[in-house]
Amino acid sequence: MVLNITLTAERTQLVHRRDQLHPKYGFVHLAVSRPRGDTIVYQPPVQHCADPALVSSGHDDPGTYRIRASYAAPDGTMLVSDTTTVRVVAPRTSSDDQVAELLLRDQAGMALTLLGSDSPYLADGTNALETVVAEHAEHPAAVFARLALGTNAARPFAEVDATGSVRIRERDLARADELLCAAVDVSRGDSGLDDLTVYETLGYLASSHDAEGDTDRARELRHDAATLAESKHAPMSVLRSLQE
């Protein structure tokens, strides 16, 4: 399940940046009423620090979920959203069953949350994502596996062994391009990733190419993001951010 969180504020009201409207930063909290009758508060596996858009835990039962968000503004104001209702259906095909079994593993959920990792402690989760991409490439959920694996390939990974030695795995931009561009391409319409994630993904991939000195490819990716955003009539604030 993917939840899109939006905030409407007056121009004079101080709020956090749109990329910080995620439970992982601690400003937004989600309460979820599950079909079994209980209510849980979503706890992000990793807390991020920030200065003053995939929620996966607790949604393994089919049925109707009622979700409400609260937001703590920088001035101390507490805003509470209306309740939204989400219907989670049981897998309908054998492919649905297999993909659900792979993605609902704890390690796969953590790998998705971290947008990929080379950590040996998440090897089973990473292998599950690789299996989804390799064996269920056409399944709608494969886009999230591509996003995680591609983002991880677009950044270096540092591993420290027991002796304190550091090994750096460099970026694999060929693999990152293959995975992330495929994820973006299936999301240009109304399905796949949400629009903001698409723009952020293209921007992140562009920054990775910049870091390796490939400014032409970076410029091409940023132009793609800006053109796509304009065609989808994205807010001016989004268009400006893509030009920065």
What does the block give as tokens for 192? Answer: 């796949």
| pLDDT tier for residue 244 given thresholds of 50, 70 and 90 | low
- What pTM value is reported for the model? 0.73
DSSP 96: H
Q: Are 103 and 147 in contact (CB under 8 A)?
A: no
C-alpha pair distances (Å), 87 with each of 34, 60, 141, 191 = 10, 12, 16, 17
**What is the four-CA torsion angle of 10, 11, 13, 19, rounded to 10 degrees?**
100
Task: Look at residue 57 and tell me whether its pLDDT is greater than 50.
Answer: no
Q: Tell me which residue of 161, 156, 190, 185 sits closest to 173, measured CA to CA.
A: 156
Assign 227 a pLDDT band (cuts: 50, 70, 90).
Answer: very high
pLDDT over threshold 80, residue 56? no
CA distances from 32 to 102, 108, 179 (A): 23, 21, 32
* Residues 6+ positions from 89 with CB-CB distance below 8 Å: 62
pLDDT per residue over 143-196, tens digit each? 999 999 999 999 999 988 888 899 999 999 999 999 999 999 999 998 999 999
d(CA 61, CA 103): 14
Q: Which domains does the chain have, with CATH numbers?
A: 18-88 (2.60.40.10), 94-243 (1.25.40)
pLDDT confidence of 106, banded at 50, 70, 90? Answer: confident
What three-state secondary structure class fits 53?
A: coil
d(CA 198, CA 177): 13
